[in-house]
Amino acid sequence: MTPVRAVGSTLADYARLARLDRPVGIWLLMWPVLWALWISARGRPDEHVFIVFMLGVVLTRSAGCAINDFADRRFDPHVARTERRPLAAGRVAPAEAIAIWVLLSLVAFALVLTLDRLTIAYACAGAVLMAVYPFLKRFFPLPQLWLGVAFTWSVPMVYAAQTHGVPRLGWLLFAAGVLWTVIYDTMYAMVDRDDDLKLGIKSTAITFGDADRWIIGALQLMVLYALWLAGLQASLGHWYRGGLAAGAVLFVWQQWLIRRRDRAECFRAFINNQWFGLVVFVGIALDYLFSNP
C-alpha cells in the first residue's frame, strides 16, 4: 500500500471510529438542541449560539463514539453488530481512540468558551456525564437513562446560552428528551440483547425483559405528554400540535416494527426515531413562522 493510500485508509478508520459514516446519531442529538434553540428564542435563535451548538453536536457525538469504543474494546469483537468497528477489528489502536476523544472534546470545549459562564459550567457537567456513560454498562441496569441525561444535557445548555437561565419550560423539554433517548436506545439495545446477556453487559432491553414493548409504549406516551405541556407553556399552536400528531404516528409504526423483537426490525425502529425528532422540530418551526410573527 502506498503512503498516500495508507494515510487515506487510516483517516477513513478514524472517521468510522467517530461514526461519521452513520449520521443518525448526530440527528438524534441535534433535534432536542433545535427544539430548545427555537423555543427559547421564540423562533429566532442567536446566530452565534446556533453555530456553536450545531458544531458542538457533531464534535461531542464523535468524541463520545471514540470513548465508547475504547471502553467496549474487549466486548465489541464478540458482538455481531460491532465486531467490524475499527477498534474492535484492530485497525485503530486504543491510544489513538483516546487521542481522538481528547482532541474532539477540546475543540468542542473551545467553542463553548465563546459563550457565557453559566453555559460553560453546564458544559463541564455534560462532559463528565458523557465520559462516564460507556463504563456504566458493566454494573448499572439502566445505562440508557444515564445516556438520556448526557445526550439531552444540551437543552439546559441552550437555555443558559440564549436566556442566561433555565426556566421550567427548559427542564420540561429536557425531561422529554431524556425519555425519548431511553426509548430509542432501548430499541437499539434490543438488537444486541442476546450478545449482551452472554457478555454480562447491562441495558434497559435486558432489565425490561418481556415488558420491553409495554414500557417503551408508556415512555412514548410520556414523551408526547411532556412535549404537549411544553407546547402549552410556549404558547405553540396547531402547527406544533400537527408535528406531535405526526410523531405519534411514527411511535405507532415503531411499536409495529418491534412487535416480534426481530434484530433488523428493532434497528429500523431505532433509525426511525430521527424522523420523530424532525417532525417535532418542523411543527415548532412552522408554528413560529406562521402563528408567532
Q: What's the pLDDT band for 69 if we cut at 50, 70, 90?
A: confident
C-alpha cell at 248: 405519534
Q: How far apart are CA 96 and CA 100, in angstroms?
A: 6
C-alpha cell at 274: 430521527
User: What is the reported pLDDT for 7?
Assistant: 64
Give the amino acid at 203.
Answer: S
Q: How far apart are CA 165 and CA 238, in angstroms?
A: 28
| Class of domain 3-290 as given by CATH | mainly alpha
Q: Which whole-number Å values give the CA distances from 283 to 178, 209, 231, in the listed order?
A: 20, 35, 10
Helices (H), the chain: 3-17, 24-40, 47-71, 94-112, 117-136, 143-152, 154-163, 168-191, 193-199, 204-208, 212-233, 238-257, 263-290
Q: What are the tens digits of pLDDT across the range 242-271? A: 999 999 999 999 999 999 999 999 999 999
Lowest model confidence (mean pLDDT) among 51-55, 72-76, 221-225, 235-239: 72-76
Q: What's the pLDDT band for 4 if we cut at 50, 70, 90?
A: low
User: What is the reported pLDDT for 293?
Assistant: 53
C-alpha cell at 187: 430499541
- What is the phi-psi region of residue 117: left when phi exceeds 0, alpha when psi lies from -120 to 50, beta otherwise? alpha
Q: What are the tens digits of pLDDT across the range 90-100? A: 788 889 889 99
By the 8 A CB rule, do 233 and 169 touch? yes
Angle, alpha carbons 68-192-247 (nearest 5°): 85
Q: How far apart are CA 196 and CA 58, in angstroms?
A: 28
User: What is the reported pLDDT for 17?
Assistant: 85
User: What is the reported pLDDT for 20?
Assistant: 85
Q: How do the domains of the chain map onto residue ranges?
A: 3-290
User: What is the reported pLDDT for 84?
Assistant: 82
User: What is the reported pLDDT for 5?
Assistant: 59
Q: What average pLDDT score do residues 267-283 get? A: 97
User: What is the reported pLDDT for 292?
Assistant: 54
User: What is the reported pLDDT for 238?
Assistant: 95
User: What is the reported pLDDT for 154?
Assistant: 95
For residue 198, pLDDT over 90 is answered with no
Global confidence as pTM: 0.93
Q: What are the tens digits of pLDDT across the range 116-163? A: 999 999 999 999 998 888 888 888 899 999 999 999 999 999 999 999
Q: How far apart are CA 79 and CA 74, in angstroms?
A: 10
Average pLDDT in the chain: 91
